[in-house]
Structure 1
Amino acid sequence: MKTGMLALALGLLMLRWLPALPPGGALLAMLVLALMLLPFRSYPLAFFLVGLSWACFSAQRALDDRLQPALDGQTRWVEGRVVGLPQQTVTGVRFELADGRLRKGRLPKRIRVSWHGGPVVNSGERWRLALTLKRPAGLLNFHGVDHEAWLLAQRIGATATVKDGERLAPARNAWRAAVRQRVMAVDAQGREAGLAALVLGDGSGLAPEDWQVLQDTGTVHLLVISGQHIGLLAGLIYGFVAVLARYGCWPQTWPWLPWACGLAFGAALGYGLLAGFGVPVQRACMMVGLVLLWRLRFRHLGLWWPLLLALNGVLVLEPLASLQVGFWLSFAAVAVLLLAFGGRLGPWSVWQAWTRPQWLIAIGLFPVLLVLGLPISLSAPVANLFAVPWISLVVLPLALLGTALLWVPLAGEAVLWLAGGALDGLFKGLALLAGQLPAWVPPEVPLAYWLVSLMGAVVLLLPKGVPFRVLGWPMLLMAVFPPRQWVPHGQVDVVQLDVGQGQALILRTRHHTLLYDAGPRSGPVDLGARVVLPSLKKLGVGQLDMMLLSHADADHAGGAAAVARGLPVKRVVGGETEGLPAFLATQPCTSGERWEWDGVSFELWQWAGGLEGNPRSCVLHVQANGERLLLTGDIDRAAEQAFLASPLAVPTDWLQAPHHGSRSSSSWPFVQRLAPTSVLISRGRSNTFGHPHPQVLERYQALGSRVYDSAEQGAVRLRLGAFVPATVARSERRFWREPLP
């Protein structure tokens, strides 16, 4: 049976790596084959086929529920019900709309809605909204979170922004929203949002600074409800009943063991429902239920059987869970603890049982975090030593007790005030630790080095008596010091990042790095911090020799401050110095300035007649082994006309389309003179500016230029000086990604 369950898990997990889903006929054939194998007792293969076919069928249903292409970009009146917990943001509110109805056409079951400057929206309300609908999409870079996969895993079939709306009916049965409202209304010493995250699993109210502290110290799991919280509550209830029975305080007519198991599982399930029943909570409830069931029947359960059953249970209920980062971290953490605690000849002391799990989890999750592309907290073992017991034994019991007593005048408020103070003290301690040792973003690691590091982590988790266990350390550290991917002399590695309606390009020679524009920033959303800085670190960039900001517009220079705070920058040059942070010490762009790095020549140009804004963009010309790249910022037709009089106006291999392909740029004389072989366009999908303009695309197509559009192809990477085609992020096929146009 265990072999069959393992095969079922492998079949369900295989979905994560499929480039495309098999057609319906193939799925039916797999099911028929699985049934035919059962009489021959070929259980592993039969279970594998059942798991794979079920996962593919479920994924296909989610894909079929996406917004119809004909409705993409259209504004329609939609009636629907608000589900989940709406998230109040600095600029408005985000929520999910279910059961949306149109007069004509079909809508997905769930739509993720953003309402900038909108009113307070409560769970359970019915609204009539004028929505600008979009198919699920997200930024796609070579390193980073795949937002499109996340949306599919949440079964969100469309995103939308609100133009107008009216409330049709008040909330009904929105008990989670009512609890959150009560918790957020109390005085918890400024930590109301943290308590809401701990009690309800709703972290939307936490400030970005708090999330950064949690990430730097590896304690995010403490404020996002996980199996630890569920297991702790179940254990407390079970232990309470056991103690009462031991000292004769439990009614003798009630058998204590069934009651202890039933009440413990009921508490775990109730807390899970309060928290929204996410993947970690599902896994924890299943494992708690299995342990209690076997305990009730006085059977030895073993270590790995509950984890395997919980894994299959979660994936059978939601096969798309394997697309979520939290799924892998949750099960990997439990597997690390089982491997570490299993096979021990003697018990650990209290000190060992407290300290060792933190270090073992840090070692075991290191290769997992690497392959998922997540930051690695160097202070996590130390931070969790005091944070885990503080949350588990002080903050969480007080938060749950205070929430339960909210309907008792003054009692609940007083308890939550104490819980908030305890949580605030923890955050202050974690902030001090994070300031000294922030999270580390490791560079890209080759597959072979990662596999050796994974084996090293497994070896280190084995008991001490295992021979040559010490060799696990150099194996593990191979991923910390991977070989650097050197750019050949005379060539440039160029990456146009996908930053939506903005621009950021990384240019690396053998020993130098230049960043041309730093991505956009709009309110609290800073893509310099979210995309540009992590991408630089993933490429192994330790410092920038130059950050060149074409001009001061927020879509080009908005992320500059975040980049400068995260990496040393030797020199900052800008087409405009006004409007940029003073601490950047920006030097003005000097037309005609030339320099050479590692056999590659660079030259700047700026229109002397440009007074401000787009016409003042600083243009960068790069030449490597005779192959040319021209980065133009947002210059307009007038600046283009002036550029044609410069010695740089020669046929170009790679051209960054001026102003994202705007109609006000890419004039025919400019395009005809440069005659680019390939054109780079950086813009947001379905942007309100209409970039790129159809007439501009026609001009480039008339010359036979190949267009690389970040909105359709994601990030673009090319090797200037090698005369080879570029690679795009969307070329890596995954079933949830729309194929390249």
Structure 2
Amino acid sequence: MRTAMLALATGMVCLRWLPALPSLGWLVGMSAGGVLLLAVRRWHCGLFLLGLCWACLHAHWATNGQLVAALDGQTLWLEGEVVGLPATNGSTVRFELAEAWSRRAQLPSHLRLAWYGGPRVVSGERWRLAVKLKRPRALVNPGGFDAQAWALAKGIGATGSVKAGQRVRAARLAWRDGVRQRLLAVDSQQQGGTLAALLLGDGSGVSRQQWDVLQATGTVHLLVISGQHVGLLAGLLYGLVALLAKLGVWPARWPWLPCACAFAFTGALAYGLLAGFQVPVRRACIMIALVLLWRLRFRHLGVWSPLLLAFTTVLLVDPLVSLQPGFWLSFCAVGVLLLTFSGRLGGWRWWQAWTRAQCCVAVGLLPVMVALALPVSISGPLVNLLAVPWISLLVLPVAMAGAVLLPVPWVGETLLWLAGGALRGLFQWLTWAAEWGPSWLPPGLSPGVWLVLVIGVLLLLLPAGIPLRWLGVPMAGLLLFSPRQAPPVGQADIWVLDVGQGLGVLVRTAHHQLLYDTGPGLGEIDAGASVVVPSLVALGVRRLDAMIISHAHLDHSGGAGTVMRRLPVDQTLAGEPDLLPAAWQAQPCEPGRSWEWDKVKFVLWRWPSAVPGNPASCVLWVEANGERLLLSGDIDAAAEKALVASGLPVQAHWLQVPHHGSRTSSSKPLLDAVRPQAALISRGHGNTFGHPHASVLARFQALGIATHDTAEDGALRVRLGTFGPVQRQRSQRRFWREAPDHP
């Protein structure tokens, strides 16, 4: 039975790695083959094939339910019901709309919308809205979060920005939103947002600083509702009934064991529904139901069957859940704990079991964190020794009681105030721990090295006394000494990152790294955190010898603060240093300044007569083995004319298109002087500025200059010094991602 479930589940998770979905005709044939294999008693092969077909069918339904290309960028009047918990960040309201309907076009049923400066939106309301719709699309870089896969797994068929709207119907059955508003209304030591995250799974009230602290200390799982919280509630309810029965105060006409099991499962299910019934909660509810069922029948289920059945059931209900990192972290963490504590000889004291559990989970999840490009907390194992019982045994029970007793005057508010105070004290301690031991982003590993890491971790998790167990130490230690991805001496790796409507370029030689611009930033959201730092770390960059900020506009400097906080930066140069924060200690970009790293030459230029803004951009030439790249920032036609007249040898094989391809840049005199073979455009897909302008593209085409666009191709890589072609990240096919139009 277990091997059959494993075969079925393996077929379903294979969906994650498919570059393209098989056609419906192929799925029919594969399904028939699976049934035939079952008929001839080839159970495992047949179940594997049927599991793969089931997952691919779900993927077809999800991709076909997305916004059609013809409506991408169109503004339509539509109507729908607000679902989930809307989030307000400053003046922006973000929410999801279900049952979307329009008289003009067929729409996806589920939309994710943003309303800048919009009114308060409540779950359960029905709205009529004018929305500019976009197909789900994500930035594609060497590392970082894949928002397009996340949207597909969530069933989001389109995103959009609301232009206008009116409420059609008031909210109904908005009990989750009502509970959240009550929590936020209670002062709770300024921890109303974190209490809402703990009780409802709503993280919109948690600040970016708090999320950074949780991530650095490996305690995100404590604030995001997980199986641990659900299991704790079920255990408390079961234990309460058992205690009352033992004390003789439980009614004799009600058998205590069936009642304890029923109360435990009902409480777990109710808490799961309150939290939105995400993957960890589903897994926990299934496992709790199995354990309680076998407890009721006085049978021992074993340690792996509940986990495997929960794993298979979650996938059967929603195969696309395998695209979410939380799915893998949730099940792998439970698997590590089962491997650690099952089948061991002898007993451990409680403190030994607790410390080993934290250490084993930290070690056991290393391969998963590397594969998912997630940060690893250095202080996590030690911090969780105190943080887990603090949340589980102190904050959570008090907060739950306070939420339930909110209708009782003073009682609920007092309990929530106490829970908020406990959370506030915990965050103060976590902030100190985050400064002492920040999170570490492991580099990307080749499949072979990653497999060695997996074997090493498994050896370390085996019981003491297993022969050759010590080999796990050097095998797992490969993570700390992974091969560098730097180019040889005399060459340079150029990465034009896909940062959206902005610019971020990594220039890497054999032993040095330079970052030219850091992508856009807006409030608490910036490309430094979401794109630049994860991409640099995935490429093995641990420090920057120099960072150049072409000019002070936010689409070029917005991520600089995050980069400086996350990575050591030896020096910062800027075209407009006086307009940047003094703490950055930016030095002016001096025209004619040059240097050489690993036989790669660098030259700076800036128009001395430039007015503030785009014309003041710091320009950089990079030359390796006779092949040249010109990074031009946002210079306009006037600055381009000054550049051509400067007397510097401006000819280059590669040109970063000035100002994202606006019609005020990329003038013909510049192109005639540079004579590039190819142009690299960094811009956001469907941006409101209309970049790149049609006249600029026509100019490139007339001169025979090939163009490569981050909005269409993802991050672009050029190995300067080899005279080779550009490599495009979007050419790495994934079934949820559109391939570039050109080969």
Aligned runs of 1:620-631 on 2, under 5 Å? 620-631=620-631
Query: Which residue in 1 is equivalent to 2:279?
Result: 279
Query: Which residue in 2 is equivalent to 1:430?
Result: 430
In structure 1, C-alpha distance between the alignment counterparts of 2:143 and 2:445, rounded to whole Å: 11
Q: In the TM superposition, what whole-angstrom CA distance separates every residue of 1:550-601 from its partner, at most 9, and x where no partner exists?
A: 1111111122222222222222111112220111222222212221111111
Q: In the TM superposition, what whole-angstrom CA distance separates every residue of 1:390-413 from its partner, at most 9, and x where no partner exists?
A: 111111101111111111121111
Query: Which residue in 2 is equivalent to 1:506?
Result: 506
Matched to 1:455, the amino acid is: I
Q: Which stretches of structure 1, 4 residues or more, deviate above 3 A after TM superposition?
A: 646-651
In structure 2, C-alpha distance between the alignment counterparts of 1:656 and 1:458, rounded to whole Å: 47
Shift of 1:255: 1.7
In structure 1, C-alpha distance between the alignment counterparts of 2:42 and 2:607, rounded to whole Å: 74
SS in 1 for 2:189: coil
Shift of 1:486: 3.2
Contact 2:132 2:161 in 1 (8 A): yes
Query: Which residue in 2 is equivalent to 1:722?
Result: 722
In structure 1, C-alpha distance between the alignment counterparts of 2:648 and 2:13, rounded to whole Å: 53
Matched to 2:261, the amino acid is: C
Query: Which residue in 1 is equivalent to 2:314?
Result: 314
Contact 1:85 1:202 in 2 (8 A): yes
In structure 2, C-alpha distance between the alignment counterparts of 1:540 and 1:324, rounded to whole Å: 24
Query: Which residue in 1 is equivalent to 2:302?
Result: 302
SS in 2 for 1:684: coil
Task: Decide which moves more: 297-306 or 321-330.
Answer: 297-306
1:554 aligns with 2:558: no
1:52 aligns with 2:52: yes
Aligned runs of 1:131-280 on 2, under 5 Å? 131-280=131-280
SS in 2 for 1:699: helix
Contact 1:227 1:284 in 2 (8 A): yes
Shift of 1:533: 2.2
Matched to 1:360, the amino acid is: C
Matched to 1:21, the amino acid is: L
In structure 2, C-alpha distance between the alignment counterparts of 1:599 and 1:19, rounded to whole Å: 39
SS in 2 for 1:77: strand
Aligned runs of 1:273-672 on 2, under 5 Å? 273-648=273-648, 650-672=650-672
1:98 aligns with 2:98: yes
Please report the TM-score for the alignment, with normalisation by the length of structure 2. 0.98
Contact 2:66 2:158 in 1 (8 A): yes
Matched to 1:727, the amino acid is: Q
Task: Decide which moves more: 708-717 or 695-704.
Answer: 695-704
SS in 2 for 1:204: helix
In structure 1, C-alpha distance between the alignment counterparts of 2:605 and 2:636, rounded to whole Å: 14
In structure 2, C-alpha distance between the alignment counterparts of 1:65 and 1:290, rounded to whole Å: 35
Shift of 1:650: 4.6
SS in 1 for 2:516: strand
Shift of 1:447: 2.4
- Specify whether residues 78 and 442 from structure 1 end up closer, same or farther in structure 2 by C-alpha distance, changes over 3 A only: same
Query: Which residue in 2 is equivalent to 1:87?
Result: 87
Query: Which residue in 2 is equivalent to 1:28?
Result: 28
SS in 2 for 1:578: helix
In structure 2, C-alpha distance between the alignment counterparts of 1:246 and 1:459, rounded to whole Å: 43
Contact 1:496 1:715 in 2 (8 A): yes
The RMSD of aligned alpha carbons is 1.2
What percentage of residue pairs aligned between the two structures are identical?
A: 58
In structure 2, C-alpha distance between the alignment counterparts of 1:231 and 1:561, rounded to whole Å: 40
SS in 2 for 1:120: coil
Q: How many residues align?
A: 741
SS in 2 for 1:3: helix
Shift of 1:37: 2.0
Q: In the TM superposition, what whole-angstrom CA distance separates every residue of 1:675-724 from its partner, at most 9, and x where no partner exists?
A: 32111111111111000111111211223322211111111111100111
In structure 2, C-alpha distance between the alignment counterparts of 1:650 and 1:380, rounded to whole Å: 51
SS in 1 for 2:82: strand
In structure 2, C-alpha distance between the alignment counterparts of 1:557 and 1:392, rounded to whole Å: 42
Contact 1:621 1:648 in 2 (8 A): no
Query: Which residue in 1 is equivalent to 2:676?
Result: 676
Matched to 1:12, the amino acid is: M
Task: Decide which moves more: 72-81 or 31-40.
Answer: 31-40
SS in 2 for 1:518: coil
Shift of 1:359: 0.5
Aligned runs of 1:99-138 on 2, under 5 Å? 99-138=99-138
In structure 1, C-alpha distance between the alignment counterparts of 2:39 and 2:294, rounded to whole Å: 30
Please report the TM-score for the alignment, with normalisation by the length of structure 1. 0.98
SS in 1 for 2:94: strand
Contact 1:561 1:581 in 2 (8 A): no
Shift of 1:608: 2.7
SS in 1 for 2:265: helix
SS in 1 for 2:4: helix
Contact 1:446 1:482 in 2 (8 A): no
Shift of 1:443: 2.3
Contact 1:620 1:632 in 2 (8 A): yes
Task: Decide which moves more: 9-18 or 524-533.
Answer: 524-533
Shift of 1:647: 3.8
SS in 2 for 1:514: strand
In structure 1, C-alpha distance between the alignment counterparts of 2:220 and 2:612, rounded to whole Å: 44
Shift of 1:38: 2.1
Shift of 1:649: 5.2
1:4 aligns with 2:4: yes
In structure 2, C-alpha distance between the alignment counterparts of 1:708 and 1:619, rounded to whole Å: 20
In structure 2, C-alpha distance between the alignment counterparts of 1:459 and 1:513, rounded to whole Å: 36
Matched to 2:655, the amino acid is: L
In structure 2, C-alpha distance between the alignment counterparts of 1:649 and 1:680, rounded to whole Å: 20
Matched to 1:665, the amino acid is: S
Q: In the TM superposition, what whole-angstrom CA distance separates every residue of 1:134-190 from its partner, at most 9, and x where no partner exists?
A: 110121111111111111111101110111111111101111001111111112111
Contact 2:72 2:134 in 1 (8 A): yes
